[in-house]
Structure 1
């Protein structure tokens, strides 16, 4: 397994975890992998990016579990073995392989996609979970997506439930539980900038 330093970020919806990942990657001048992993997995599986996005960090509907969307927005049967495997499982497996290859290529920041679990054998992979107080998360999503706070709260609950299901189904570990990670940062207490500084310092210390 690679000796590159990898920061694998799990996050609550609305905590600012994605923004922390972006700021950290920019500060360290290293690649950030997040939503772009969906496009990579879709290309590897030869399916539409839309189909891959439907099951990225979400629970899969029973209908999509049996079918796979191909190029041109049509539904195509796979071979017998693939037909029996849900699309979500295939996307997860493809993303996991891509994550391992990218981690072996260079230091990087990876947001979500069970990267901490996928890279658990990497000696310099730092698994961090970003959280924040519920009120702060609601305000952040309401502001970013121009939603009433009630709608923002509902969206946060839905996305966190899906991320928890995705993570625990694929890893067998507890999503968001402190003991599942090396580091937990509460953005409500630290702020975005301080959180980035802490992770940057840790990255630099491991890279020496």
Structure 2
């Protein structure tokens, strides 16, 4: 694994983190893993992708948090009273396993899913957290989802709270803290292209 590099991106909702990840993956000609991790986990658990997506990056106030299923390969052999993990934990652990395998295969960009923590002992892994000013985030989300500024602000508050809880409950670290990440970049100060430029430069070692 020492021969290639990985970039993990944590992000505030509406900060442009996914767009930056996509831009980087395109420039560097390496895979981007984000929502496709949900599909991979759903396939392994033999559940609907929509069900896995309902607990992806959120364990806060989810009715599926306590919903338990057995891993597919064990379903025929266990008794109904045997303990099985809550669905959100199964999705998280499977995504963690998938993330490690993908990181071992070659260079890539991974967005969210506690990838920075999962790969914390991986050599040549650049861990960045993307943030932006609230006003810019509200405008971006309002435009993207055709929402009023009030509804966009409410959506940002809810999803940030869910991501924070998800990250902190699985890592024991503070989400978005400089103590939890190698690098924090403010897109509002730098700009989208310039943020991508910085990360590309660091990746290439220039």
What is the TM-score of this pair, normalised by structure 2? Answer: 0.91
Q: What pairs with 1:47-66 in structure 2 (closer than 5 Å)?
A: 47-59=47-59, 61=61, 63-64=63-64, 65-66=66-67
Kindly indicate whether residue 40 of structure 2 is the aligned counterpart of residue 40 of structure 1: yes
Name stretches of at least 5 consecutive residues in structure 1 with no aligned partner.
Answer: 71-76
2:100 aligns to what? 100
2:148 aligns to what? 148
Kindly report the root-mean-square deviation, in angstroms, between the aligned alpha carbons of the 2 structures. Answer: 2.0
For 1:149 and 1:66, how far apart are their aligned partners in 2? 34
2:130 aligns to what? 130
Q: Secondary structure at the match of 2:18?
A: helix
For 1:201 and 1:157, how far apart are their aligned partners in 2? 32
1:110-144 Cα offsets, whole Å, 9 max, x none, are 00000000000101111100000011100110011
2:82 aligns to what? 80
Name stretches of at least 5 consecutive residues in structure 2 with no aligned partner.
Answer: 72-78
2:169 aligns to what? 169
On the 8 A contact 2:9/2:112 being kept in 1, the answer is yes
- Name the count of aligned residue pairs: 198
Q: CA deviation at 1:86?
A: 1.2
Could you say if the C-alpha distance between residues 116 and 88 of structure 1 is closer, same or farther in structure 2, counting changes exceeding 3 Å? same
For 1:140 and 1:62, how far apart are their aligned partners in 2? 26
Could you say if the C-alpha distance between residues 121 and 46 of structure 1 is closer, same or farther in structure 2, counting changes exceeding 3 Å? same
2:25 aligns to what? 25
What is the TM-score of this pair, normalised by structure 1? Answer: 0.90
1:191 aligns to what? 191
